[in-house]
């Protein structure tokens, strides 16, 4: 399995003799700290091994998430280094109150770097990734690697954290979540290599808020594709969904974007749908369509039972699932019941969408 790391705003590690910083508006104490960090000697192989052993893929998303937390300077702000261009959008009066903030990502740059590959075990399943990752070079930490640079646009949505946290607490006590957790354990052990280190399956299970944000992103991709001018396979998700832990604040946000190596990803059709009245129609239409599936009632009532081990609930290719180019989790961790209320289920975050 190829391991490709993609970053919209890759974190910069100011270590090494050639690192430098240029920020004329930075306070003197922060500038002094940056200079001290830049003058530190390069990491040893032992330090790099220790960092890789405890590395979490979520760490790659944190710098992006922290940047998107800040409101743009003025109505439109462009980062001089990355080219990331953000514009504020007002919330329409009919927009669901659970959506508290909207940004139009007019321009973005996405860099994909191929750093290695794994066999048998996917990277989110192994606890000893540094030992099981087959490198592309003879040295474990090459100075450069193969990468592509794509440009595009997108829409950023932020959900009410208090509402998400309260909903997540309620979901964790339901029979539906218990069934999903048991199915994940069965799936994990049946597809886990005997030579890998022991890992607690629950540490690899995405929290309920991830299921919610993931399902919401998929139905939005389907709805946006009808009017934005891009195909559904050209749209992709970027999910910022994790509870508070280890000093990291909780997040419940998503970015729907399109990127391409040429100008096809910057036509503007996706950004136009972030306008208040258009976004209201997109969100309401997406949630309404999520209440129905041509495979209902089978799809709406699907819950894994022993010995089943599929990693989705009320979700199928007729209603929620997306193409491999759009989904970051291979259509796992999806359930319409977590998004809207379905017949016989009242656990949807957005409630009724009729």
Token pair of 122, please?
A: 């996917």
Q: Is residue 1 part of a domain?
A: no
Q: Is residue 66 part of a domain?
A: yes
Q: Is residue 63 part of a domain?
A: yes
How many domains is the chain built from? 1
Strand ranges inside the chain, DSSP E:
2-7, 76-78, 85-89, 99-117, 134-135, 147-159, 235-242, 251-260
Give pLDDT, residue 121.
74
Q: Which residues of the chain have pLDDT under 70?
A: 1-26, 51-55, 125-127, 129-130, 140, 262-266
* Spatial distance between the Cα atoms of 101 and 110, rounded to a whole number of angstroms: 23
Give pLDDT, residue 25.
60
Q: Is residue 75 part of a domain?
A: yes
Domain range for residue 67? 57-111+148-338
Give pLDDT, residue 320.
96
Distances (CA, A) of 256 to 140, 173, 181, 216, 260: 34, 30, 27, 10, 14
Strands 147-159 and 134-135: unpaired
Q: Is residue 116 part of a domain?
A: no
H-helix segments, the chain? 28-38, 45-53, 62-69, 129-132, 161-171, 175-190, 208-224, 269-272, 276-290
* Spatial distance between the Cα atoms of 342 and 322, rounded to a whole number of angstroms: 20
* Spatial distance between the Cα atoms of 252 and 241, rounded to a whole number of angstroms: 5
* Residue 8 · residue 64 · CB < 8 Å: yes
Closest to 219 (Cα-Cα) out of 205, 206, 237, 234? 237
Quickly tell me which residue has 């919401």 as its tokens: 216
Give pLDDT, residue 21.
40
Q: Which residues contact 351 (CB under 8 A, 6 or more apart)?
A: 340, 341
Strands 99-117 and 134-135: antiparallel
Q: Is residue 126 part of a domain?
A: no
Closest to 131 (Cα-Cα) out of 193, 49, 201, 188? 49
Q: Is residue 142 part of a domain?
A: no
Q: Is residue 131 part of a domain?
A: no
* Spatial distance between the Cα atoms of 70 and 52, rounded to a whole number of angstroms: 29
Please state the length of the chain: 354
* Residue 210 · residue 159 · CB < 8 Å: no
* Residue 117 · residue 1 · CB < 8 Å: yes
Q: What is the DSSP string of 219-231?
A: HHHHHHTTTSSS-
Backbone angles phi, psi at 341, to 5 degrees: -75, 125
């Amino acid at each position: 399995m190829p391991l490709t790391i993609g970053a919209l705003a890759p974190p910069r590690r100011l270590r090494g003799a050639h690192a430098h910083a240029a920020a004329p508006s930075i306070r003197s104490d922060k500038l002094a700290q940056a200079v001290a960090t830049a003058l530190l000697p390069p990491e040893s192989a032992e330090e790099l091994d220790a960092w890789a052993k405890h590395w979490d893929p979520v760490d790659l998303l944190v710098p992006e998430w922290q940047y998107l937390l800040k409101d743009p300077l003025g109505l439109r702000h462009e980062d001089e280094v990355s080219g990331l261009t953000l514009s504020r959008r007002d919330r329409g009066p009919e927009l669901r109150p659970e959506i508290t903030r909207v940004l139009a990502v007019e321009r973005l740059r996405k860099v994909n770097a191929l750093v290695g590959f794994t066999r048998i075990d996917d990277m989110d399943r192994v606890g000893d990734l540094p030992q099981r990752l087959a490198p592309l070079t003879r040295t474990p930490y090459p100075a450069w690697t193969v990468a592509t640079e794509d440009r595009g646009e997108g829409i950023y949505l932020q959900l009410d954290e208090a509402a998400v946290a309260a909903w997540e607490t309620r979901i964790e006590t339901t029979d539906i979540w218990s069934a999903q957790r048991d199915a994940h354990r069965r799936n994990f052990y049946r597809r886990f290599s005997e030579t890998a280190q022991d890992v607690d399956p629950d540490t690899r299970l995405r929290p309920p808020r991830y299921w919610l944000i993931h399902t919401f992103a998929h139905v939005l991709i389907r709805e946006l594709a009808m009017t934005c001018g891009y195909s559904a396979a050209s749209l992709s998700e970027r999910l910022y969904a994790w509870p508070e832990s280890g000093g990291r604040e909780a997040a419940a946000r998503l970015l729907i974007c399109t990127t391409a190596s040429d100008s096809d990803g910057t036509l503007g059709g996706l950004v136009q749908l972030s306008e208040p009245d258009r976004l209201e129609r997109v969100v309401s239409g997406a949630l309404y369509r999520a209440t129905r599936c041509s495979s209902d009632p089978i799809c709406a009532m699907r819950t894994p039972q022993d010995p089943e081990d599929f990693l989705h609930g009320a979700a199928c290719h007729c209603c929620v699932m997306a193409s491999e180019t759009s989904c970051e989790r291979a259509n796992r961790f999806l359930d319409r019941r977590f998004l809207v209320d379905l017949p016989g289920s009242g656990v949807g975050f957005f409630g009724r969408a009729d």
